Amino acid sequence: MKIKYIDVTFRAAKLDIIDLSNKIIDEYAEQGFVLTLRQLYYQIVARDLFPEDRKYTQHKKTKKWFKDLINGTKNCFPNYTWLGTIISNARQAGLVDWDALIDNTRTINTNGHWDGPKDILAAIYEQYAIDKWATQPYRPEVWIEKDALLFEVEPAVGSIQIVTEDQTTPIAWHRKPSLWVIVYTNRLIIERCKKYVFVGGT
């Protein structure tokens, strides 16, 4: 839902980015996906939609970014933060849907509550599942590099059992160097299950 809280005056270049962002967001929404800001950014980079005057190069020693219209790149931190600021302001101005983008790294942990015993039993019933791979000769796993890619992989994976560093979930995601924690943990699981594991990555 688009809700306006403040008045913001955007220059033409920023209005273009807002319009392009909304088109990309709608394109994925039609497929049932909700993007993160980083995914939106990569889509804009891949489609070469950032303005031509937003090319940067990172200084090798200072690591600071500076404009370089000749040899610079649009895939850079300044453009990521620029996009983030635009989207944030556009949301407050009512130009971008508040539910159009998600942030998988920002969550609120709360205790579960139910209206009565009947409701908690219904919740348990919905969560009940049998380990379909327990009696199979192979136990497939799917590993991906970032949790931001979950929405792209999950529909294809379906009910395949996958192991993460902390629990069993539909998809395994990791941030370096925690990959090696998962590898070690998985080794113990493999030894316990006495089954082969095929690992696929994106």
What is the C-alpha separation between 14 and 155, in angstroms, rounded? 33
Tokens of 141: 């796993």
pLDDT-above-70 percentage for the chain: 64
If we measure between CA atoms, which residue out of 58, 97, 61, 104 comes closest to residue 80? 58
Question: Using one digit for the tens of pLDDT, what is the confidence trace for 161-184?
Answer: 444 333 344 344 444 545 566 666
What is the C-alpha separation between 79 and 41, in angstroms, rounded? 8
pLDDT at 145: 62
pLDDT at 121: 87
Residues with Cβ within 8 Å of 164's Cβ and at least 6 positions away in sequence, in order, are: 171, 172, 173, 174, 182
Question: Using one digit for the tens of pLDDT, what is the confidence trace for 65-120?
Answer: 999 999 999 999 999 999 999 999 999 999 999 988 887 666 666 777 888 888 88
